[in-house]
Chain A
Amino acid sequence: MRGRPMARVKYYRALNRALHEEMARDDRVILLGEDVGASGGIFAQTRGLYETFGPARVRDTPIAENGFVSAAVGAAMTGLRPVVEVGFEDFLTCCMDPLVNQAAKLRYMLGGQVSVPMLLYTFGGGGVNAGPQHSQSLAAWFAHVPGLKVVMPATPRDVLGLVKSGIRDDNPVLCLLSKKLIGSTGEVTGEGDDTLVPLGAADIARQGRDATLVALGQMRAPALAAADLLAAGGIDVEVIDPRSASPLDMVCIAASVRRTGRLAVVQEAHAPCSLAAEIVAAIAEAGIALRATPRRITPPFAPSPFAPQLERAFLPDAERIASTLRDMVAA
């Protein structure tokens, strides 16, 4: 931090600042997506970029995710560093081919002749009653693919630092942002400070002795709230926000579990074949002795419902997380 003043900013403003700073820093950075231009974006996340950097570098696209993500890959292969917005994470299904078969594999498949330096950001996750096609958390799909990197920042500081690092990375990076957190605030370094957060480095959001609680993406906040509830009852939980789904910082997580002897993972995604499943499996393979059976705290295996009361029951919350941890410590 080098003694610079800190500022409180909103989550979406951190994204906007990261884009401004990186576009100013490097002429090769362009922005593509639906409504990223003169309109300033559906959440005002791209406001000012069109005016500052012009229509050649800030381009509204038609509603054609397959086409414009493929175009971003082609541009990344030929000297640009595209940033692509896909409005909702659920729409990644419309551009699976350019991400999975093209961006992820081209470097390997062409014998190392190219790199694909691009960052795709999108807004995902639930909690805003957006229904089954606008609420999903699909990080595990992409973490499964060699060649991609996947980050899921849950604070303004991590949005700023991970987007900036992702744009500078020479690989395709997916940045899975949270819709629910768009208006949330947090501390970041002051304007003019080049804040980077390394890809693949977890953040220990809270230190604790009794259990390790890994919280993915926007589950960070309910996990911290659960830790406060538990602390009142004398249970001291360590909360780890991996921040990157790929590479996943298993070194940090394993070191924590070795200290605490207990592991729970909370995520918005479904349990089967998920990041929670991966983390629990990796700890099992590492042979770390556990004092309680590890737990995955996830929604039920059903699509994300629209009705507010149903969605509240669907998503893990602080009370459910705390209750699971209490059971683990009592076991």
Chain B
Amino acid sequence: MAASSSVAPERALALYRTMCEIRAFEQAAVKGYRDGHLPGFIHVSLGQEACAAGACGALVEGDLITSTHRGHGHCLAKGADPGRMLAELYARADGYAKGRGGSMHIADVAAGVLGANGIVGQSMGLGIGAALSLQVRGQPNCVVAFFGEGASGTGIAHEAMNMAALWNLGIVFFCESNRYAELSPYDTHVSVPDVAGRAAAYGFTGVVVDGEDVMAVHAAVAEAAARARAGGGPSLIEAKTYRWHGHYEGDPQTYKPEAERRNDEGLDPIARFARGAAALGLDPARLEGAREEAEARIAAALAWAGSLQSPPAAALTEDVYAGQAHGAG
């Protein structure tokens, strides 16, 4: 927590509130899914809240993010509205994607969220494109491209990091290393102990950060984002965290050791923050207030989303093309 002393209590409390919102959002999503109200399938990031909250909490207006199939936390933390997100999960017309995308395609472009994405690794390619756009347009912002250790094995991860270095792009590659890629553990996917070590191959900075510690994540991203905005080029941050749930909701997780399924280590970034809150100048009552606010916000969002209509069949072929209608019917 060495880096935390420079952060104002209000900022720290905001990060905590964001983590509580992500937790409440995903718990609501999980319940909705189990109760049969959410179609399709969802991937939740319970246990990883410090990554999204810490990283996005270090960004400013005009900064952009690209996200993954496990993107609820990133979108919320960057400012997406939980009501419109839940509306999308519930396949409603008022959802961010008008009910066409679902959990894996939530975006709020106005808030700088260029979208969750269903194809592992593409957040990095799209991310360098957004960073290229900032550079060409002379805009002093940066991009954070979220990915996981599973994506670190894709070709596009290498291609994107190489190009980011060649072109000195203002991007932070943020790896949420959550111990599992789909149904297999880290060492099935990654040939080295730390994904962060890959950065050396491209000639930029790579650091490992405790992904359970929101203040540490925040400090690392604040530094990398400031460098990126100032023309200092890309960097790679690997946040070591733990995915509480399976790859998808309903995944029986038979591949995890029993002790890990029970979370015997007690990994929980929200509880972890609470334990260190006094040192940040925050008393328990303020934490409790923030948690209640977060939960109330999500409850209101859930009630609103549940009240909405499904998209009309006539909307089926809207937005396939920009501009005039395409020839195909």
Contact = CB atoms under 8 A, between A and B. Distances in A.
Contact of B125 (A70, A115, A169): A70
B327 A250 contact: yes
B129 A72 contact: yes
Contact of B156 (A67, A113, A149, A169): A67
Given A111-B96, A111-B319, A30 B136 contact: yes
Given A97-B122, A112-B318, A61 B163 contact: yes
Interface string B154-168: 011001101100110
A71 B97 contact: no
A175 B101 CA distance: 28
Given A80-B136, A102-B122, A66 B156 contact: yes
B95 interface: yes
Interface string A75-99: 1111110100000000000000110
Interface in B36-82: 64, 66
Interface stretch (B9-17, B112-120, B222-230, B248-256): B112-120
A248 interface: yes
Interface in A42-75: 56-57, 59, 61-62, 64, 66-75
B95 A74 contact: no
A67 B125 contact: yes
A75 B133 contact: yes
B114 A108 contact: no
A108 B100 contact: yes
Given A68-B159, A71-B160, A79-B133, A111 B126 contact: no
A74 B163 CA distance: 14
Contact of B155 (A57, A59, A66, A102): A66
B122 A59 contact: no
A72 B122 CA distance: 12
Nearest to A106: B115
A67 B163 contact: yes
Contact of A170 (B96, B131, B166, B322): B322
B215 interface: no
Interface string A144-178: 00110100000000000000000001110000000
Given A74-B126, A110-B105, A101 B136 contact: no
A76 B109 CA distance: 13
A112 B99 CA distance: 11
B137 interface: yes
A109 B128 contact: no
B130 interface: yes
A246 interface: yes
A171 B321 contact: yes
A111 B95 contact: yes
B95 A67 contact: no
Interface string B313-326: 00000111111001
Contacts of B148: none
Contact of A107 (B122, B132, B137, B319): B319
Contacts of B128: 67, 70-71, 74
B219 interface: no
Given A74-B127, A76-B129, A170-B323, A64 B328 contact: no
Nearest to B139: A79
A200 B130 CA distance: 30
A113 to B, nearest CB: 5
A70 B327 contact: no
B107 interface: yes
Nearest to B84: A111
Contacts of A102: 117, 119, 122, 126
B14 to A, nearest CB: 26
A140 to B, nearest CB: 14
Contacts of B322: 107, 115, 117, 170-171
A66 B159 CA distance: 8
Contacts of A69: 125
Given A62-B162, A66-B156, A70-B160, A56 B328 contact: no
A147 B320 contact: yes
Nearest to A70: B125
A4 B128 CA distance: 43
A208 B238 CA distance: 67
7 contacts: A67-B162, A71-B128, A74-B133, A75-B129, A98-B122, A109-B100, A110-B109
Given A71-B160, A74-B128, A114-B109, 10 more contacts: A67-B128, A68-B159, A70-B124, A76-B129, A80-B133, A112-B318, A114-B107, A115-B322, A246-B328, A247-B326
* 9 tightest Cβ-Cβ pairs between the two chains A and B: A74-B129, A70-B125, A67-B159, A247-B327, A74-B126, A170-B322, A71-B129, A64-B159, A112-B319
Interface of A: 30, 56-57, 59, 61-62, 64, 66-80, 82, 97-98, 101-102, 106-115, 117, 146-147, 149, 169-171, 200, 246-250
